[in-house]
Amino acid sequence: MPTAVVTGITGQDGSYLAELLLKKGYRVIGVARRSSTVNDERIRHLLDDITVVQGDLQDQGSLLSLLEEYKPTEVYNLAAQSFVPTSWSQPALTGDVTAIGVTRLLEAIRFVNPKIRFYQASSSEMFGKVMEVPQSEDTPFYPRSPYGVAKVYGHWITVNYRESFDMFAASGILFNHESPRRGMEFVTRKIANAVAHINLGLAKELRLGNLEAQRDWGFAGDYVEAMWLMLQQDYPDNYVIGTGETHAVREFCEIAFSHVGLDYKEFVVQDEKFYRPAEVDLLISDPAKARNQLKWEPSVSFKELVTMMVDSDLARLKKS
């Protein structure tokens, strides 16, 4: 039975990746940082099947110990301070976790067993103020937030360990991917949750920032399959993962509200508070390499994603 270590197991992607790896017959070791309250909402249904160990990307010793103890063949680094606005209010922490944390994990692998295959969760935020449209593996980076800057470091240190030490270190440049398990502060979940509240008479308005920002949004369940595929290749590489479509935040609102028979214009209020010091205006992927080499394709359309998220929040609220 192969063993995979997954950092960021309590996050959106960690939960979907754990489900996928279990289905494929892996022993899954999830790494979670210690917190004073229980934080296993997304993986509660998996707790009988996976092992959760304490570890932190800010603590080198914890990473060394867990690799020595569990002897994985694959390590997926999904842990990060991943919310872009927080990266302006906590830039040094974001750098320490999201950038230097990658080096700590790569160093742990290099010392314990350099044959371990490594996946780094890189991001389309690295393209930032985009240098070309659409964005591929060859598009130069121009990050627009401390988060984007930290991810550029994480990407290049992954490439550097591949080239310096001949390690199997792959970098997945994933465009935005969402699901009913998305954190509440990200715009898609914020909209879905607000639509459900408004539809049930529990809220009257939704305050948002820039409605014109465009993103290439896909379904997180599809994207974890691409992570796994990257580690099954003959050679480590960089891959862009996205749908090849882009939509504005405004369009997400239109579809989400109209799904429950409402007009978003009557409920959405634009609020300066949610604008960013520097915005990423347009992201759209060119996923040709992933399609050709990994044979990866997204299976959920934009409209299906929006309605899936609204329906899920409606069902959750009705239940509670």
**Residue 186 makes contact with ligand F7E by CB under 6 A:** yes
**Residue 7 makes contact with ligand F7E by CB under 6 A:** no
Question: d(Cα 49, Cα 285) in Å, to the nearest integer?
Answer: 35
Among residues 33, 129, 250, 276, which is the contact residue for ligand F7E, using CB under 6 A? Answer: 276
CB of 67 to ligand F7E, least distance (A): 25
Among residues 52, 64, 67, 84, which is the contact residue for ligand F7E, using CB under 6 A? Answer: 84
84 binds, among ligand NAP, ligand F7E, none (CB under 5 to 8 A by kind): ligand F7E
Binding mask 171-190 for ligand NAP (x = CB under 6 A): ---x-xx-----x-------
Among residues 4, 108, 229, 249, which is the contact residue for ligand F7E, using CB under 6 A? Answer: 249
Nearer to ligand F7E, 82 or 246 (CB): 82
Task: Answer yes or no: 123 catalytic.
Answer: yes
Marked catalytic residue, from 19, 62, 74, 125: 125
Report the amino acid identity of residue 315.
A
**Residue 98 makes contact with ligand F7E by CB under 6 A:** no
Nearer to ligand NAP, 183 or 209 (CB): 183
Question: d(Cα 304, Cα 16) in Å, to the nearest integer?
Answer: 18
Peptide bond before 134: cis, by omega within 30 degrees of 0? Answer: yes
**Residue 91 makes contact with ligand NAP by CB under 6 A:** no
HEC string of the chain? Answer: CCEEEEECCCCHHHHHHHHHHHHCCCEEEEEECCCCCCCCCCCHHHCCCCEEEECCCCCHHHHHHHHHHHCCCEEEECCCCCCHHHHHHCHHHHHHHHHHHHHHHHHHHHHHCCCCEEEEEEEHHHCCCCCCCCECCCCCCCCCCHHHHHHHHHHHHHHHHHHHHCCCEEEEEECCEECCCCCCCCHHHHHHHHHHHHHCCCCCCEEECCCCCEECCEEHHHHHHHHHHHHCCCCCCEEEECCCCCEEHHHHHHHHHHHCCCCHHHCEEECHHHCCCCCCCECCECCHHHHHHHCCCCCCCHHHHHHHHHHHHHHHHHHC
Marked catalytic residue, from 15, 82, 123, 124: 123
Among residues 10, 139, 158, 243, which is the contact residue for ligand NAP, using CB under 6 A? Answer: 10
CB of 189 to ligand NAP, least distance (A): 10
Question: d(Cα 320, Cα 307) in Å, to the nearest integer?
Answer: 20
215 binds, among ligand F7E, ligand NAP, none (CB under 5 to 8 A by kind): ligand F7E
**Residue 90 makes contact with ligand F7E by CB under 6 A:** no
Task: Answer yes or no: 125 catalytic.
Answer: yes
**Residue 13 makes contact with ligand NAP by CB under 6 A:** yes
**Residue 279 makes contact with ligand F7E by CB under 6 A:** yes
Give the interface with ligand NAP as residue ranges (CB under 6 A): 7-8, 10-14, 33, 35, 39, 56-58, 78-82, 97, 121, 123, 174, 176-177, 183
Give the interface with ligand F7E as residue ranges (CB under 6 A): 82, 84, 123-125, 175-176, 185-188, 190, 208-210, 213, 215, 249, 274, 276, 279-280
Q: Which residues are catalytic?
A: 123, 125, 147
